[in-house]
Amino acid sequence: EVQLLESGGGLVQPGGSLRLSCAASGFTFSSYAMSWVRQAPGKGLEWVAAVSGSDSNTYYANSVKGRFTISRDNSKNTLYLQMNSLRAEDTALYYCVKDVYGIVVVVEDYMDVWGKGTTVIVSS
């Protein structure tokens, strides 16, 4: 069974840092691009970042560019999101998501497996 399990969320002060992890199982992790998508309380979905499967090319939303870093360790089947300079508006449930293709820039791409999410709260 394909599973994604996020961890690392919590309460952090504005300006602080947090690293999210996502443990993947049930599929060949290195063959697929992976994404982070967030959802602020009571709001819609926002794509945050994505990384290709094997060449590790990375892509970011403008709202997090320069502050967040997505990475992956294919030997550990784990996806990461390093979040620095956190702001109140980064408060959200962060989902780890598997893409259908191995490369992010495929236009036919979509997100077929979602984790349950980990909550990040940025507040003093």
What's the rounded Cα separation, in Å, for the pair 102 and 97? 13
Number of residues that make up the chain = 124
Q: How far is the CB of 108 from other proteins (least distance, A)?
A: 6
Please, what is the minimum distance in Å from the beta carbon of residue 10 to other proteins?
19
Q: Which amino acid is at 57?
A: N
CA–CA separation, 27 and 49 (whole Å): 21
Q: Which residues bind other proteins (CB under 8 A)?
A: 35, 44-47, 50, 59-62, 95, 100, 104-112, 114-117
Cβ proximity to other proteins: between 44 and 124 the closer is: 44
Give the SS3 label for residue 80. strand
Of 15 and 105, which CB lies nearer to other proteins in the complex structure? 105
Q: How far is the CB of 50 from other proteins (least distance, A)?
A: 8
Cβ count near 115 (within 10 Å):
21
Which CB, 23 or 45, lies closer to other proteins?
45
